[in-house]
Chains A and B, each alone.
Chain A
Amino acid sequence: MSILKLKDLTIKFGGLIAVNAVSLHVYEKQIYSIIGPNGSGKTTIFNLITGIYTPTSGEVMIQDEVTSGHRPDYISKKGVSRTFQNIRLFKNLSVLENVLIGSHNHIKTKFIDVLLQTPRKKTIERQSVERARYLLSIFDLEQFADQRAANLPYGPQRKLEIVRALASAPKLLLLDEPAAGMNPNETEDLMQLIRRVRNEFDVTVLLVEHDMGLVMQISEYITVLDHGMKIAQGTAAEVQNNPAVIEAYLGKESA
């Protein structure tokens, strides 16, 4: 079953066409990657899917509902969660609070529960904290739970963004360059984690990544963009041998 469909998705910024008539299909529980050279429109597509941008034309469909034109908080409630290329953690809050805010959509306490400190509130709060700690432990971040997010080293900050996104129990998880700035060991580690998360939480993963090693090993399907247009799609092997892709990355052979 398809979880995400882009139909002729286009966005223009002034005269620049950042994304040009891109269509793609992501199926449930797939690990799907979007790759392409710098400035090819990958992150823009993420911003279109999550509602930060509204497309000039075309549609985003999440589980067969058209979501383009809705605000990000609405789309989040439809089960889409993401990380950011330039890390956007809640820096002055604790690691645990970051994850708890991630589960915002699922914490059902009302203000009155808090005012009266009802048992309901205490139960829900305890369950949320337990779940948050479990998610942190998967990513080996549990020891940081009470630290300020800003005090974490770079790698753990990237991982924390993934944990926070997972806390919202998404159906579709968008990872924007999760391996950026990581060394090969950390990247290998991350790859295992992404696979584990997909299997354990039944989540679909849409990945934007520059690390070709990671992309080629992990992706079940790949779309290649260049200058906002889709130039190729297929499995890792298909994409790697596609002349258009080689040209986009390495340039045309001099004629």
Chain B
Amino acid sequence: MKKEFLVYIAILVVALMFPVLVDDVYIMHTGVLAFIYILLATGLNLLTGYTGQLSLAHASFFGVGAYTSAILTVTYGWGFWPAIIASAVLAGVCGIFLGFPALKLKGPYLVMSTIGFVHITHELFLNWVSVTRGPMGITGIDFPPGFNLGEFAVDFSNPHHYFYLVLFWVVIVFIFVYSLINSKMGRGLKAIRENDIAAECLGINLKSYKLFAFSIGALFAGIAGSLYVHYIGYVSPDSFTLAESINILVMVILGGMGTLLGPIFGAVGITFLLENMRFLAEYRLIIYGIILMLIMFFAPGGLMGYVLKFTAGRNNEKLKMVQEDE
């Protein structure tokens, strides 16, 4: 238990030091995006990794959050904080809508319905021009208001400062997921993933548990969407496609499904990998594809699965020693 917390704190310290150690604005910019993707990947991991419901609709909720924030602040003059809360709530509600077909569907059939969902939301963003301004998108979204921290002026138009805003939400979401997974509810979600019939026969209400997972996963994506538009300053339908959903899913799978740290490594790893390979020009996606295939070949459980395989071996040794002592 304690060792686990040490790892989390070490990672948090590294994240906190990141803007201090990095001067380069471009790297910092990539860092902000990577941490927004952590929120997305963590939400999808809750749904796909822990509850076993494979979804390709995650970009939809990213989009719902992004548009909600954009419309509320630009069209209706809301402030950033109420807007991000509204984005989270609305995305969470949309998640329940996607959850209903999942109560009946499994495996490839569920995936089909989530693909349908992401196309529907994309068309809505594109064609509901009176609200979303269609393909032109919404521009002129302000950075969240800065404030003074003693002598120090926090200015969110600076990526170094914005990073801490994103990190704040990542920490909140991480604590939430950690608590959830280590509770009776989290065990219920995992039970559904492992064997839904057995889970139901032990008193787990499949309907409410699945809807809960869909809703919370979407809610995190809503937060990410809001943080994204307030950072980038505009929003357009092209950001929220099936391809984006797949990108988020790749982060989850590559990092390690059903692990707490997997989505974090996956999101950071892939965001930086894709950015740092830009010098490869037209070969970039080919090399990226090869890297993905190699990782999946050598570490089918993702990066965290690979790490756990080694630590689990050691822990079992320790366990034996403890038992012998007793």
Interface residues of A (CB under 8 A from B): 50, 52, 71-73, 76-77, 81-82, 84, 88-93, 97, 100-102, 104-105, 107, 109, 111, 113-115, 121, 143, 146, 164-165, 168
Contacts and interface: CB of A to CB of B under 8 A. Distances in A.
Which among B175, B202, B204 has the highest number of chain A CB atoms within 10 Å?
B202
Interface in B158-213: 175-176, 179-180, 182-185, 187-188, 190-191, 194-195, 197-206
Given A89-B195, A90-B190, A93-B190, A81 B201 contact: yes
Interface of B: 175-176, 179-180, 182-185, 187-188, 190-191, 194-195, 197-206, 258, 316, 319, 323
B184 A73 contact: no
Contact of B191 (A101, A113, A168): A101
A178 to B, nearest CB: 15
Given A90-B195, A101-B188, A50 B183 contact: no
Nearest to A102: B202
A51 B14 CA distance: 51
Contacts of A164: 202
Contacts of A76: 200-203
A52 B191 contact: no
9 contacts: A77-B203, A81-B202, A93-B190, A109-B184, A111-B180, A111-B183, A111-B185, A115-B176, A146-B316
A11 to B, nearest CB: 17
Given A76-B203, A88-B195, A88-B197, A115 B179 contact: yes
A9 to B, nearest CB: 18
Given A88-B195, A93-B194, A115-B176, A109 B202 contact: no
Nearest to A75: B201
Contacts of A93: 187, 190-191, 194
**Chain B contact residues: over half helix, strand or loop, or mixed?**
helix
| Closest CB pairs A-B (n = 10) | A90-B194, A76-B203, A114-B183, A88-B198, A105-B203, A72-B200, A115-B179, A114-B179, A107-B184, A88-B195
Contacts, number: 89
A92 B301 CA distance: 12
Nearest to A106: B203
A113 B184 CA distance: 11
Contacts of A121: 183
Nearest to A84: B198
A77 B204 CA distance: 9
Contact of A73 (B175, B183, B200, B258): B200
Nearest to B181: A114
Contacts of B188: 101, 104
Contact of A101 (B187, B197, B206): B187
Given A97-B190, A107-B184, A143-B323, 13 more contacts: A72-B200, A73-B200, A73-B204, A90-B199, A102-B202, A104-B184, A104-B203, A105-B203, A109-B183, A113-B183, A114-B182, A146-B316, A168-B203
Contacts of A84: 197-198
A73 B180 contact: no
A245 B176 CA distance: 59
A100 B200 CA distance: 14
Contacts of B183: 109, 111, 113-114, 121
B200 A71 contact: yes
A50 B197 CA distance: 11
Contacts of B200: 52, 71-73, 76
A52 B197 contact: yes
A52 B180 contact: no
A165 B187 CA distance: 16
Nearest to B200: A72
A83 B299 CA distance: 34
A114 B180 contact: yes
Given A90-B194, A93-B194, A101 B199 contact: yes
A124 B191 CA distance: 20
A77 B201 CA distance: 9
B203 A90 contact: no
A67 to B, nearest CB: 13
Contacts of A102: 202
Nearest to A149: B194
B32 to A, nearest CB: 27
